Amino acid sequence: MASSLPAGISSLKLTVKRENGTSGRSRSMANALPRYPYLFFLSSILSSSRLTLPSSYDDFHRCRAGLLGNETQRSDLSFAPRSAHSRQSALLPRSRCFETAATRCQRSSRSNTCPGRAVQARGPEARTQCFGFWKTGGFRARFISESVYDLRSRLREAGSDLLIRFGRPEDVVDNLVGAFKKDGMDVEGVWMQKEMTSQEVQVEGDIKDRLKKHNVPLEFVHAKTLIHPNDLPFEVSETPDVFTPFRKRVEALGPTMVRPCLTPPETFKPFPPSIPSTPDYRLDVSYEVDVDGLLKKAPESVEKGKDQISFHDILQGLLRPLNDTPLSFAMNITEGSSMLQQRHPASAFPLRGGESSALERLDWYFVRGKSADSSRWGKADPPPVARYKQTRNNLIGHAYSTKMSPFLAYGSISPRVIWEALNAHESKFGEDQNTYWVRFELLWRDYFFFAAEKFGNLLYDVGGFERATDPRQAERKIEDGWWKGWDAAKDGPEHVITRLLEGRTGIPFIDANILELRESGFMSNRGRQNVASFLSKDLGYDWRIGAEFFQSHLIDYDPSSNYGNWQYVAGVGNDPRASRQFNCVKQAKDYDSHGEYVKMWIPALRNLPADNVHTPWLIDVEERRRYGLKTTQMDVTMDAYPGRPVIESESWQKHYDRKEGVGSKMHGNPQEKVKDGKVKRYKKLVPPRQNAQWNNGDGRAPQGGYQGNAQSSTMAPNFLPPMYMHNASGASPTGSADHISPSTSTTPSNHAGGSRERNTSGPPRGLRGGIGAGAAIARTGSPGGLGNAYGGASTPPFSGNVRVGSSIRGGQRGFVGGALASATGRTANVHAETGALSKADRESSWRRGAGSTAVNDGAGTEQVSVSMNNLTTSE
Ligand SMILES: Cc1cc2nc3c(=O)[nH]c(=O)nc-3n(C[C@H](O)[C@H](O)[C@H](O)COP(=O)(O)OP(=O)(O)OC[C@H]3O[C@@H](n4cnc5c(N)ncnc54)[C@H](O)[C@@H]3O)c2cc1C
């Protein structure tokens, strides 16, 4: 268990004792825990403190009733681990489920008026406050669910269990405590992690009120932040209005700044023998087969019984409202269920939720990981954190940054555990700007927490924190007309905001980031800054549109980090240079100099030369035709992309002629310095090793601190981005070539090129076989690894092959082998070579609605056929 108890997601602890117990209530949590049986439970599977249930209870119930054959019998609520499934019905009346979005809007202040929401009220749905997005989108729903069930597995391993309830926290706690009392038990107290943002604090207040009637105290633990609030050298209400003074003051605390992690107990007391019935939903998985690779011990031989429920069923129930209804009231796009549950093969966050996954990632990033195959590069190689500062602004692959944010957001890991991992790393490899920078970013996280607590509801206010810090400035920015509005009900699909949120502005760097977010639930920090600046500064729209859209889609959504950062970029928060604006064309050329990132998410642009790929509106009709690029406004398809950008800023023009690679910051930004950061060097870092061989001058070798072993004899000018940390070897540009290349030439030979990437050891990693290349093969032999191939045919008449191989640990674990073929009107073959593809990932699909099916031929080979748009293929 995480060493900063309580681990888990808004977990509550309930300590119970029989009424005739021998001792009074213990004040200290440490004392209270081991004394009597106690119970961990989660009151809501989806972010209880944020009321972000994706569905109304009615919807959920309908789905669940469907799963259970419309059974309405009340639950007998047995809590023995792996208990047989018990049936139940929805007992909460609809009217008591959720405050509607419209009600919340009526309550809000003048500056928080919600355009278009009056007509959009849809009853008890968990929609965002102003613009009606689902509060919790599919990727986060999946991530949180995985986290909860992982927590349960870990508690079971430690001799306890987790009671999972679905409902409003105040109802669930009230019901449970009431039921215990009725059964003759005395409840000593309820513990939960202290939240800081206003809506969550409101929930805490509601729980406290409900507990009062039972005479049961609510106790808090502070485990969210790196710095315990009591250790701050100022009151939270005096948190500096700007980050740097905050950082300097807390850093001055020295070694006492961060408390050490607690050592978690190895075992916990068992669950109470019986748990009384309550009218809430229980979400017990009764079918424990490792369908999703979630459980450690999977009795795979057991067939799923008629009434049994698997994790997959629960997830489907949770996602159903999202799959059935539009993403927002303005957009008619529904998220296809297959997409919602799948990890996108190109996702920068290919990890599953939960503490187990968090610790695995921590170990890889800070301890065990190597930038290249360790057998080749030797043991002295430092793990990826040693290059954090150089890589953190990259855009492709999972390795460019820690990817700790989703785990931090849902309590699966404590920032103090990361802090200690940094200490351990530094004691071996030395301290430098790379390790310091991770600490620096963790302090930003803390800063937004404390700022959110200080400024309360202003976190969600259009005028931002500036209303308190500089009311005169803020006054102008909350006047009508300062921000443009978006009326979700009236504005149609061609409205600039709708186009932005659907990734079809015609500005590739912005669109690629939005598409990445929509299709994977993640976006890099660089992307987030650019999108936020574009929406609020270039377009001048209410920044909360973007903040709510991010809230809905980000796996790592966290209220203070999200709204705090949006305010910062929009110029109404903690940035002393509020007018700062990102130049998205310059940024694209700085950070995606070769255009690989935009080509990855917008395959229509795959044939464009890097010098044009960020400004496709500059090429004429004839050239567009030559590159196979059709014009569209309505959709970004495999071969069509908007002809004109929604706006064109003069400031972009001086960057139009900048050539590929010139001024690139893809390998670190030398201007990025903390001037006063005290960085000592204990030891010289082991220099990064490279072994890149190119047999012609067109390819680029990995540079600047990346470790890669690349060999190519190809004419492919666009090699795999070095941050992919791969080994590849190649032979020729056609047929069986082993290189990774988004083809940039229109000549057939390049399109027919194949690509191959192979990784035989190491941690889970997304491997990309090739994009737009004729064929791709990706393999991973790593236990627990994720082997993803992403490739496809680009131009007729060539075929695209994607082959995915995942080795199998112990012959039975579910390994994710995701395959995605992006062919244009021609054959695409997906060949997944594994004995244990997970069910979800077996169904490879493309965001345009592709579907695929897989059958196992019995010899460890999955034959996967993929159909995309009008394309149907099989191998
Ligand atoms: C408009 C916008 C919205 C954002 N929304 C969120 C959000 O909802 N949740 C969230 O966790 N982060 C948010 N961020 C911050 C940042 O983008 C992510 O924390 C980061 O990209 C996560 O990837 P990582 O864990 O690999 O980060 P790393 O670069 O590895 O950083 C390590 C950790 O430091 C923290 N961190 C890094 N940058 C920031 C930052 N700018 N602000 C606060 N903490 C930071 C995170 O906890 C992160 O896990 C947002 C940034 C912007 C510009």
Which has more pLDDT, 279 or 11? 279
Question: With a 6 A CB cut-off, is 349 part of the ligand 1 pocket?
Answer: no
**376 pLDDT higher than 90:** no
* Residue bearing the CA closest to ligand 1, atom 22: 405
Q: What's the pLDDT tens digit per position in 96-139?
A: 222 222 222 222 332 333 333 332 333 356 778 899 888 888 88
Phi, psi of 866 (to 5 degrees): -120, 135
845 and 339 in contact (C-beta within 8 Å)? yes
- Tell me the pLDDT band of 696, cut-offs 50, 70 and 90: very low
Contact 537, 366 (CB under 8 A): no
Q: Is 558 annotated as a binding residue?
A: yes
Q: Are strands 727-729 and 709-712 parallel, antiparallel or unpaired?
A: parallel
**361 in contact with ligand 1, CB cutoff 6 A:** no
441 is in an annotated binding site: yes
- Per-residue model confidence (pLDDT) at position 40: 59
Question: How far away, in angstroms, is 406 Cα from ligand 1 center?
Answer: 9
Please give the single-letter amino acid code of residue 539.
L
Give which of 641, 699, 652, 634 is closest to 533, Cα–Cα.
652
Is residue 449 part of an annotated ligand binding site? yes
Can you tell me the distance from the alpha carbon of 538 to that of 530, in angstroms, rounded to the nearest whole number? 10
> What number is the ipTM of this complex?
1.00
Longest Cα–Cα distance in the chain: 87
402 annotated ligand-binding residue: yes
Q: Crossing angle of helices 525-533/508-520, nearest 10°?
A: 120
Choose between 265 and 812: higher pLDDT.
Answer: 265
Amino acid identity, position 70:
N
pLDDT at 836 (0 to 100): 32
Question: Where would I find the beta strands (DSSP E) of 697-741?
Answer: 709-712, 727-729
Q: Which residues pair with 817 in a beta bridge?
A: 787
Tell whether the model's pLDDT for residue 565 goes beyond 70: yes
Was 857 annotated as part of a binding site?
A: no
Mean of all residue pLDDT scores within the chain: 66
794's tokens? 């680009």
pLDDT digits (tens, 9 = 90+) for 70-97: 222 222 221 212 122 221 211 111 122 2
CB-ligand 1 contact for 344 (6 Å cutoff): no
What is the 425 CA–ligand 1 centroid distance (Å)?
Answer: 21
Confirm whether residue 556 is marked as ligand binding: yes
Instruction: Express each pLDDT in 631-673 by its tens digit.
Output: 876 778 788 999 999 999 999 999 999 999 998 988 888 778 7
The confidence band for 269, taking pLDDT boundaries of 50, 70 and 90, is confident
Q: Which residue has better confidence, 304 or 805?
A: 304
Q: What pLDDT was estimated at residue 313?
A: 77
Q: Record the tokens describing residue 685, joined without a space.
A: 């870092």
Ligand 1 atom with the smallest distance to the CA of 559 is: 8
- Residue 715 known to bind ligand: no
Q: How many CB atoms lie within 10 A of CB 474?
A: 21
Contacts with 483 (C-beta within 8 Å, 6 or more apart), sequence order:
462, 477, 536, 540, 541, 542, 543
Of 34-48, 74-88, 235-249, 840-854, the poorest mean pLDDT is in 74-88
Smallest CA separation from ligand 1 atom 18, residue = 525
403 lines ligand 1 (CB under 6 A): yes
Measuring from atom 12 of ligand 1, which residue has the nearest CA? 561
The pLDDT of 771-780, averaged and rounded, is 29
- The answer to whether residue 276 scores a pLDDT higher than 50 is yes
Kindly list the structural domains of the chain, giving each domain's residue range(s) and its CATH number in brackets, ordered by start: 11-96+133-223+262-337 (3.40.50.620), 464-655 (1.10.579.10), 728-873 (no CATH)
Encoded tokens for 80: 């023995």
The verdict on whether residue 749 carries a ligand-binding annotation is: no
Question: At 280, is the pLDDT very low, low, confident or very high (cuts 50, 70, 90)?
Answer: confident
CB-CB contact of 791 with 822 (8 Å): yes
- Is the beta carbon of 160 within 6 A of some atom in ligand 1? no
User: Which 3-state string (H, E, C) describes 683-704?
Assistant: CCCCCCCCEEEECCCCCCCCCC
Residue nearest to atom 44 of ligand 1 (CA): 445
| Mutation pick for ligand 1 pocket among 434, 441, 500 (CB with most ligand atoms within 8 Å) | 441
In the 3-class helix/strand/coil scheme, how is 195-248 assigned residue by residue?
CCCHHHHHHHHHHHHHHHCCCCCEEEECCCCCCCHHHCCCCHHHCCCCHHHHHH
**From the CA of 405, how far away is ligand 1's center (Å)?**
6
Is residue 365 a known part of a binding site? no
Ligand 1 neighbour 409 (Cβ under 6 A): yes
Q: Residue 389: CB partners within 8 Å, gap ≥ 6? A: 433, 434, 437, 668, 672
Q: Does 551 contact ligand 1 (Cβ within 6 A)?
A: no
484, 540 contact by CB (below 8 A): yes
- 189-198, 331-340, 727-736: which is most confident: 189-198
Pocket test for ligand 1, best of 404, 556, 672 (most atoms within 8 A of CB): 556
DSSP-assigned letters across all residues of 29-94? HHHHHHHS-EEEEES-TTTGGGT--SS-HHHHHHHHHHHTTS--PPP----STTPPP------S-G
From 565, 575, 674, mutation site for ligand 1 pocket: most ligand atoms within 8 A of C-beta = 565
SS3 content of the chain, % helix, strand, coil (to 5): 35, 15, 50
Ligand-binding site membership of 676 (annotated): no
pLDDT at 802 over 70: no
Q: Is 541 annotated as a binding residue?
A: no
Task: Say if residue 360's pLDDT is above 50.
Answer: yes
Give the pLDDT of residue 253.
Answer: 96
Residue 516 Cβ < 6 Å to ligand 1 = no
Annotated ligand binding at 404? The verdict is yes
pLDDT per residue as tens digits for the range 170-201: 888 899 899 988 888 888 888 888 888 887 88
User: Which one, of 795, 855, 858, lies nearest residue 830 by Cα?
Assistant: 855
Instruction: Using the predicted structure, report yes or no on whether residue 148 has a pLDDT greater than 80.
Output: yes
Ligand 1 center from residue 524 Cα (angstroms):
8
Does residue 525 have a pLDDT over 70?
yes
User: Which DSSP string corresponds to 494-523?
Assistant: TSHHHHHHTT-SS-HHHHHHHHHHHHHS--
Crossing angle of helices 355-363/138-157, nearest 10°?
Answer: 90
Spatial separation of the C-alpha atoms in residues 445 and 56, rounded to whole Å: 32
Q: Is the pLDDT of residue 446 over 90?
A: yes
CA of 644 to the centre of ligand 1 (A): 32
Least confident of 148-162, 296-310, 838-852: 838-852
pLDDT > 70? residue 724: no
Q: Whose CA is nearest to atom 46 of ligand 1?
A: 405
Does 451 contact ligand 1 (Cβ within 6 A)? no
Structure tokens at 741: 């290349």
What are the DSSP calls for 432-488, one per residue? -HHHHHHHHHHHHHHHHHHHHHHHGGGGGSTT-THHHH-HHHHHHHTSBTTBBP--T
What distance in angstroms lies between residue 557's CA and the mean position of ligand 1's atoms? Answer: 9
Secondary structure class of 810 (helix, strand, coil): helix
CA distance 329 to 116: 9
Q: Is the CB of 556 under 6 A from ligand 1?
A: yes
Gap from CA of 525 to ligand 1 centroid (Å)? 6
Residue 542, annotated as binding a ligand: no
- What is the spatial distance between Cα 426 and Cα 432, in angstroms, rounded to a whole number? 8
CB of 557 shorter than 6 A to ligand 1: yes
The residue whose C-alpha atom lies closest to atom 49 belonging to ligand 1 is 405
**Distance from the alpha carbon of residue 860 to the mean position of ligand 1, in angstroms:** 40
389 lines ligand 1 (CB under 6 A): no
pLDDT band, very low/low/confident/very high, at 547 (cuts 50, 70, 90): very high
Ligand 1: centre distance to CA 377 (Å): 31
779, β-bridge pairs: 758, 805
Q: Which of 517, 598, 619, 603 has its CA nearest to residue 562?
A: 517
* Residue recorded with tokens 């989703």: 406
The pLDDT value recorded for residue 144 is 85
Pocket lining: 438 vs ligand 1, CB cutoff 6 Å: yes
Ligand 1 atom closest to the CA of 406, numbered from 1: 11
